[in-house]
């Protein structure tokens, strides 16, 4: 099933868009199945769960952290994480930088923006991001690299609303690119789109889509 799901999804994703297989809550055997079907990029949203899976699965997997990251959990993922999608405060970025320095790494990060109508979703505003990027503290951070932006749309059937939110995120990306990263080719990622809305996200300029349930089936949080 996982293999077939992956094949179906891949057929709908243009080249230039990267699929992150969101495997949170799923057993290692499911990830192995996706791996055997050629998937190499996995997304997780709990630090310890990601570390535990990393320890037992093949070394060439690229691990993307996509959830809310608590400062005291950073240390579990910094030795191996490929991309952190969810930087939502200056303090978190500073803490990631500090831990990355201990490991002599430069860790790639995305800035997460609040684009949804729901109050609960995490993320920066454009002004907060500007403040961060202009701060002296940021200029001293040599162990992180900002590679783009991430956002989550409102959970709704209203396609026009979702599209509007993705357009907003793309505009945020274009604005930051122009103001701060014009000469930095690494600033190129727009992480948006999940199982139910990724086709719209791709139309609106996503470079990374984060798809879970369409690959692995519905999640059961009660187990
Ligand atoms: C769970 C999750 C996804 C994947 O959601 P699906 O609807 O299962 O595709 C994508 N992004 C984030 C941040 C998530 O937490």
pTM, to two decimals: 0.97
Question: Is residue 119 very low, low, confident or very high in pLDDT (cuts 50, 70, 90)?
Answer: confident
Q: What is the pLDDT of residue 113?
A: 97
Go through the chain and tell me how many residues it has.
223
Q: Report which ligand 1 atom has the smallest distance to the Cα of 194.
A: 9
Question: Is residue 202 very low, low, confident or very high in pLDDT (cuts 50, 70, 90)?
Answer: very high
Q: What is the pLDDT of residue 222?
A: 59
Give, as one character, the DSSP assignment of residue 151. Answer: E
The answer, yes or no, to whether any atom of ligand 1 lies below 6 A from the CB of 195, is yes
The answer, yes or no, to whether any atom of ligand 1 lies below 6 A from the CB of 22, is yes
Mutation choice for ligand 1 from 44, 210, 216, 220, CB with most ligand atoms inside 8 A: 210
List of E strands, 55-126: 62-65, 83-87, 107-113
Interval 29-46 mean pLDDT: 98
Q: Report which ligand 1 atom has the smallest distance to the Cα of 219.
A: 8
Give backbone dihedrals phi and psi of 164, rounded to 5 degrees, phi first. -60, -40
- Mean pLDDT, rounded, of the chain: 96
Residue by residue, DSSP assigns 180-197 as H-TT-TT--EEE---TTT
Protein residue with least CA distance to atom 6, ligand 1: 212
Protein residue with least CA distance to atom 15, ligand 1: 67
Closest of 44, 47, 103 to residue 70, by C-alpha: 47
């Amino acid at each position: 099933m996982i293999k077939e799901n992956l094949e179906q999804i891949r057929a709908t994703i243009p080249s230039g868009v990267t699929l992150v297989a969101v495997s949170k809550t799923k057993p290692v055997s499911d990830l192995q199945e996706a791996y055997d079907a050629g998937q190499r990029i996995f997304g997780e949203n709990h630090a310890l769960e990601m570390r535990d899976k990393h320890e037992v699965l093949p070394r060439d997997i690229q691990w993307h952290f996509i959830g809310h990251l608590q400062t005291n959990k950073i240390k579990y993922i910094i030795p191996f994480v490929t991309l952190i999608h969810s930087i939502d405060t200056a303090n978190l970025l500073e803490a990631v930088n500090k831990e990355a320095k201990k490991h002599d790494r430069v860790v790639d990060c995305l800035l997460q923006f609040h684009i949804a109508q729901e109050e609960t979703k995490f993320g920066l505003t454009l002004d907060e991001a500007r403040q961060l990027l202009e701060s002296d503290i940021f200029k001293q951070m040599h162990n992180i690299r900002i590679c783009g932006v991430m956002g989550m749309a409102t959970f709704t059937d209203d396609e026009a609303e979702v599209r509007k939110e993705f357009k907003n995120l793309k505009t945020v990306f274009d604005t930051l690119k122009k103001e701060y990263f014009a000469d930095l080719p690494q600033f190129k990622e727009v992480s948006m789109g999940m199982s139910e809305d990724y086709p719209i996200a791709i139309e609106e300029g996503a470079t990374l889509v984060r798809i879970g349930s369409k690959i692995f089936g519905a999640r059961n949080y009660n187990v």
